[in-house]
Amino acid sequence: MTVTKEQITKWLDALTTTYEEKKDYLTELDAAIGDADHGINMNRGFQKVKQQLANIGDKDIESILKTVSMTLISSVGGASGPLYGTFFLRASMAVKGKPELTAEDMAALLQSGLDGVVQRGKAKLGDKTIVDAIAPAVDAFKQAIAAGSTTVEGLKNAVAAAEEGMINTIPMVAKKGRASYLGERSAGHQDPGATSSYLMLKALLDIVAK
């Protein structure tokens, strides 16, 4: 099976609903170790994305993802805008000229997005960031695809790995971002960025699996 442009658009539209519904939850997580604005920022950014989707429905996948990137960078405050914006920018570059996405294309999209986040934020596994959810998810997806799994099966593995990675941030001491200022006091709290990235991947699975 392949992932179509329509599914990519539906995924992005679903993220608007996801972040609107989880706005207070993400902000509550961020209040414990950050600036208490992560949910607000993600909701604002994807509300802007929804507005843009109405204007770019006739574009290809690369152009759609690039527009999402530019929209998030320009409308989301804090670290989230640059990080998620870079994720979608690098993802768009990985699918240049692709009318639909094979499992291998999806692996390239996710890996490129992760590479962009790591390069932009200089974070690694264990730093209590978005990387702790996305990196294991990408690895799980690629391993599943290499073993002959379908895109949906791979995404199920990826989402499970992202959820585990998100939960694993709870005991971590933050090494990057606003939370790192708290030192040991950042332990015992789930990272909001890892949570929003888990939600992003889960929304993708929900759309592709339909």
What's the pTM value of the predicted model, to 2 decimals? 0.96
- Residue 15: which domain range? 3-208
What CATH code is carried by the domain that includes residue 200?
1.25.40.340
- Looking at the structure of the chain, the number of domains it has is 1
Residues contacting residue 97 through CB under 8 Å, at least 6 positions apart: 60, 62
In the chain, % of residues over pLDDT 90? 87
pLDDT digits (tens, 9 = 90+) for 128-137: 999 999 999 9
Comparing C-alpha atoms, which of 114, 135, 121 is closest to residue 176? 121
Q: Which of 104, 108, 96, 13 is nearest to 59 (CA)?
A: 96
Q: What average pLDDT does range 169-194 have in this prediction?
A: 88
